[in-house]
Amino acid sequence: MKSILRTLAFLALAISLVLPLSLHAADKYPLSEGTIKKIDAAGQRIMLAHGPIENLFMPPMTMMFKVKDAALLKQVKEGDKVLFRVEEEKNGDYVVVSIKAAKK
Ligand SMILES: [Cu+2]
């Protein structure tokens, strides 16, 4: 029984070591597509109807994201179709780190 627990502990450790590495590999994934539903400049948040976010293995949905830098929100407006990059912070929050209007 003890050896099973030890094996599980080892697996948990191995997974916790591998996950951050896979996050750093985000750049190999394409930018995600979305449409801006709402910009909350004061709260530094943005609501996006987004397509698949491959680097986060997230299916299409509409949701709120934190934005890493308030200046990013000045480059876009509600209704814009955008290309963006989201990363997961250590605390589990999803944060938009880059965003730009998609070519029409
Ligand atoms: Cu989502």
What band does 16 get if pLDDT is binned at 50, 70 and 90? Answer: confident
Q: What is the DSSP string of 23-45?
A: HHGGGGSPPEEEEEEEEETTTTE
Which domains, ranges and CATH numbers included, belong to the chain? Answer: 30-101 (2.40.50.320)
Residue pLDDT, tens place only, 34-92 = 999 999 999 999 999 999 999 999 999 999 999 999 999 998 999 999 999 999 999 99
How close is the Cα of 37 to the center of ligand 1, in Å? 13
pLDDT at 48: 98
How close is the Cα of 94 to the center of ligand 1, in Å? 9
25, pLDDT greater than 70:
no
How close is the Cα of 21 to the center of ligand 1, in Å? 21
Record the pTM: 0.73
pLDDT at 6: 82
